Structure 1
Amino acid sequence: MPPPGQSGPPGAVLFVCAYNSVRSPMAAAMFRQYFGHRSYVGSAGVRKGDSDPFTAAVMEEVGLDLSGHKPMTFEELEDLEGLNFDLIVTLSPEAHHRALEVTRTLAVDVEYWPTSDPGAAQEGTRAQRLDAYREIRDQLLDRIEQRFGKPGFGR
């Protein structure tokens, strides 16, 4: 059920981060698992990054396959399908500023969910790095549940 005062997810949601390699694909995959039957979801980055194997690994742990994810920029997404979204959720300051810039003449809501980038830290063991990615995955899932409600998808 959606939280009090919420009517569930909008018809189309875009998640945006810096490179479309970690945070936005994670959020989009989990949102799609919850609400894909009711809402369209996309993800993009301010700049184009590379697919992140740690992202794919921690998402596979919860049954979501991101092995085929191809990072894309705002501009590539706009050229491919337009920016026809009801809500854009930005996950980094840079993404938030870019979304506000790109949508200033569009009727779209933009929300900022500050989210650390686990890919920025190149130190630590593989296990430590995976733990950092898991923490971000779980934070994003909690935020999605708080904002849009909690259908039956478990960790």
Structure 2
Amino acid sequence: MAKPEKVLFVCVENAGRSQMAEGFLRKFAPHLDVISAGTKPRSQLIPTVIDVMKEVGIDITEQKPKELTNEMISQSITVNMGCMDKESCPALFVNDVIDWNISDPKDKDIEKIREIRDQIKNEVLNLIKKIEEQ
């Protein structure tokens, strides 16, 4: 089986979880192509998300929220971070999706965002392992 060309992390606003996942994958598997996107992207990342990623040595300040496209989906392994907004949930638009069901960091305190960050890190490391085993 051929290794995937791209990994796509999706959530509604593309301002927190999916951006953290993108940052972790870039760090731990730089040989993989990664992108994140959302169905209703915000204008910028959640500032506290940027801060907690810096705590673990990952700078995501240059990453920007992007709108999810069919082209992104068709060329990628797609991971849905979780959905709080059922009407805009990216999983509704993707047939073959991995769903992690991770809490949205929006409006959470820094300790909760750190927990979310660490959960995402573990999921990304497990995903990399599965991809490498293919």
Q: TM-score range by the shorter chain?
A: 0.7 to 0.9
What TM-score do you get using the length of structure 2 for normalisation? 0.80
Deviation at 1:95, TM superposition (A): 8.9
Larger radius of gyration: 1
Residue identity in the other structure for 2:122 = D
Change (3 A) 1:65 1:120: same
State the TM-score, normalizing by the size of structure 1: 0.70
**Structure 2 unaligned regions, length at least 5:** none
Taking the aligned partners of 1:130 and 1:97, their CA distance within structure 2 comes to 25
Counterpart-to-counterpart distance in 2, 1:95 and 1:136: 23
Which residue of the other structure, out of 102, 105, 109, is the alignment partner of 1:115? 102
1:135 aligns with 2:115: yes
Contact 2:39 2:88 in 1 (8 A): no
Q: Tell me how far apart the structure 2 counterparts of residues 120 and 53 of structure 1 sit (CA, whole Å).
A: 11
CA offsets 1:21-79 (integer angstroms, 9 cap, x no match):
00000001101111122x1000001101132110110111111111122111114xx5x
Percentage of pairs with the same residue: 34
Q: Of 18, 40, 46, which aligns to 1:24? A: 18
Amino acid at match of 2:127: R
The 3-state SS of whatever aligns with 1:41 is: strand
Alignment RMSD (CA, Å): 2.4
Residue ranges of structure 1 left out of the alignment (5+ in a row)? 1-6, 122-128, 151-155
Matched residue, 1:153 = none
The answer as to 2:76 corresponding to 1:89 is no
